[in-house]
Chain A
């Protein structure tokens, strides 16, 4: 099995530090007029997206191009999926075209893990179902570290639909490896008790105020309506109890930052005022996405 990037869980601290530090090197590039390197010239990256995605797909594509690689993006609706080809066959077909890496998003948890056992090409997981979204956790860590010297001892509240969130899982694994205190918060039906055993340092609460109290970082998650099998509660009810509003921020540390992996639903998981709040770093996350993905691509292919 070639080395790709399937998840944060199996990465060690050293590898994560290396990626984050390399991403920092790439940060200045993002605001230069000439943004292109030739580190990966002649390399080919296939972005295979079985789920709708604007930011992640574009971010990977730009990251590849800024490293001088060629990138091809395929979305499921326009591919052979609609002709009934199985996932394994599609991937084998693409692998036969000898790309240097396949960046893949899929609605099924574990799809890239399953494929990596059958493919010669390294796979970079761009989000698998409810499981992991490793580059999101890396860019979140980069964004936090742009404002804090260390992740150790930081109090991070992750709020929302935890059960269905790959962003939450990847962030928990990453933050835990660096000694952060993690509070997961959401309605009870979206907060299975077993989450506490996901990694050391995780605590659960159904009370948003308790989650936010003394937090250094507040990560809001999108409500994954498409992943819920049964309608557990109304959107209105959700915002009332789990939406982040300005007054909540008084409970957090004075310099606490607000994060969101996007796309944001104003008025659902956070109020419009919070989205535009000065300590909201949502757009910094997007910007860091490119630097982090450049570091990941370079590590996997370079």
Chain B
């Protein structure tokens, strides 16, 4: 079984490759990358005019299985991932039960092996039940396949618990991914605290609720030596603090979501829950700080925080709706639009943000087109126009503010371990 991806613009940040070439795939791995390859029995994919990149990695998704299969499953979520150009996704532990044990980790790994359209890597909980008190079975989860720990959505408020978690994580060589939110400062909040929350009579989630926790984590990362990764960074101060920590040589990284670098609170449709997420859409100055942080190299990964919720949960009064939007299928389109077409970053940098950036945190052995690597490839266009129809989404949920938006460029085909996981029809 061989496949020849012909005549694409091969962009491989790991080897600083950017040239028109062919990619030969055999037995699920990359066999060669060079111009004018040929193998008579190989299936041909003509990638003329397209970019051929290592498979994209989304280090922050919610697959809702086990426990909330009405909103998403490993199967449906991973198909949405494939359609978004992702070949590897990391699923957060806020399932039911919480992924805080090797049993749940193994369950996810096993279900993903059977039903997953892409590679699925579980992220284990930091604390039991993500209750923030007692540490979860971190070592056992790692042995079962967990690639990081996080209490995403229910952040660890107790700083001593977080310190201990970082100490263990360091010993187990796992990154700690923190959803930085001081739950007291953000209590009851439904959107960014600012001019519009006051105008609309909604409780605010202040930028400070993120800033104080980022500050705490950076301090703890320093005393523990742990690798600390700030999830979905959204504020100007948080970006500045991470930049400072990185300059000082701390093992600190952070990710940004497409919605945080694309939208601000000013662009919200009032009281429409498709604009409700945590962290919330921030002020324009925060949004531009996130874009600047990406351009400057402070932010090293794009992650979607794909958070499906069933229609019935999102069709409520704004303050009753759960937080989160789906994002797998619109991530590349938004990133091209906001970052590349706008001239803020080069195309190679965009590929890094989706590949080597997350790979350097997670160490999956992916995100490269080196010979012998698993043949995970994302083939995309930078110029064809398409319109996102959320009703055609592979996700089980429809909660996206980007329905009807037209994009320039997006995924064309996704290969996972040498086989097509998705092709644009």
Whether, in the assembled complex, B406 has its beta carbon less than 8 Å from a beta carbon of chain A, the answer is no
Tell me whether A198 and B317 are in contact (CB under 8 A): no
Whether, in the assembled complex, A169 has its beta carbon less than 8 Å from a beta carbon of chain B, the answer is yes
Tell me whether B317 and A166 are in contact (CB under 8 A): no
The distance in angstroms between the C-alpha atoms of A108 and B276, with both chains bound, is 15
- Chain B residues whose CB sits within 8 angstroms of the CB of A197 once the complex forms: 195, 198-199
- Chain B residues whose CB sits within 8 angstroms of the CB of A106 once the complex forms: 317
Known: A129-B201, A132-B201. Contact between A109 and B195, CB under 8 A? no
Whether, in the assembled complex, B103 has its beta carbon less than 8 Å from a beta carbon of chain A, the answer is no
Known: A113-B270, A114-B272. Contact between A108 and B317, CB under 8 A? yes
The distance in angstroms between the C-alpha atoms of A47 and B324, with both chains bound, is 33
The main secondary structure of chain B at its interface with chain A is loop
The distance in angstroms between the C-alpha atoms of A78 and B318, with both chains bound, is 23
* Contact among A109, A117, A229, A230 for B201, CB-based, below 8 A: A109
The distance in angstroms between the C-alpha atoms of A118 and B317, with both chains bound, is 12
Whether, in the assembled complex, A128 has its beta carbon less than 8 Å from a beta carbon of chain B, the answer is yes
Tell me whether B201 and A194 are in contact (CB under 8 A): no
Whether, in the assembled complex, A294 has its beta carbon less than 8 Å from a beta carbon of chain B, the answer is no
Chain A residues 108-141 with CB under 8 Å of chain B are 108-111, 113-114, 117-118, 128-132
Whether, in the assembled complex, A86 has its beta carbon less than 8 Å from a beta carbon of chain B, the answer is yes
Residue of B nearest to A228 (CB): B188
- Chain A residues whose CB sits within 8 angstroms of the CB of B188 once the complex forms: 229
Residue of B nearest to A173 (CB): B199
Whether, in the assembled complex, A251 has its beta carbon less than 8 Å from a beta carbon of chain B, the answer is no
The distance in angstroms between the C-alpha atoms of A87 and B272, with both chains bound, is 14
Known: A110-B270, A114-B271, A194-B195. Contact between A87 and B316, CB under 8 A? yes
The distance in angstroms between the C-alpha atoms of A109 and B315, with both chains bound, is 15
- Chain A residues whose CB sits within 8 angstroms of the CB of B194 once the complex forms: 194
Known: A114-B271, A114-B272. Contact between A109 and B198, CB under 8 A? no
- B182-217 vs A, Cβ < 8 Å mask (1 yes, 0 no): 000001100001110111111110000000000000
Whether, in the assembled complex, B38 has its beta carbon less than 8 Å from a beta carbon of chain A, the answer is no
Known: A110-B270, A111-B317. Contact between A198 and B199, CB under 8 A? yes
Whether, in the assembled complex, B312 has its beta carbon less than 8 Å from a beta carbon of chain A, the answer is yes
- B250-287 vs A, Cβ < 8 Å mask (1 yes, 0 no): 00000000000000000000111000000000000000
Tell me whether A194 and B198 are in contact (CB under 8 A): yes
- A165-199 vs B, Cβ < 8 Å mask (1 yes, 0 no): 01001000000000000000000000010110110
The distance in angstroms between the C-alpha atoms of A1 and B272, with both chains bound, is 15
Tell me whether B198 and A129 are in contact (CB under 8 A): no
Tell me whether A109 and B316 are in contact (CB under 8 A): no
- Quote the shortest CB–CB distance from A124 to chain B (angstroms): 17
Chain B residues 157-201 with CB under 8 Å of chain A are 187-188, 193-195, 197-201
The distance in angstroms between the C-alpha atoms of A195 and B270, with both chains bound, is 18
Whether, in the assembled complex, B319 has its beta carbon less than 8 Å from a beta carbon of chain A, the answer is yes
Whether, in the assembled complex, B387 has its beta carbon less than 8 Å from a beta carbon of chain A, the answer is no
Whether, in the assembled complex, B391 has its beta carbon less than 8 Å from a beta carbon of chain A, the answer is no
Query: Residues of B at under 8 Å CB distance from A?
Result: 187-188, 193-195, 197-204, 270-272, 312, 315-320
Query: Residues of A at under 8 Å CB distance from B?
Result: 9, 86-88, 106, 108-111, 113-114, 117-118, 128-132, 163, 166, 169, 192, 194-195, 197-198, 229-230
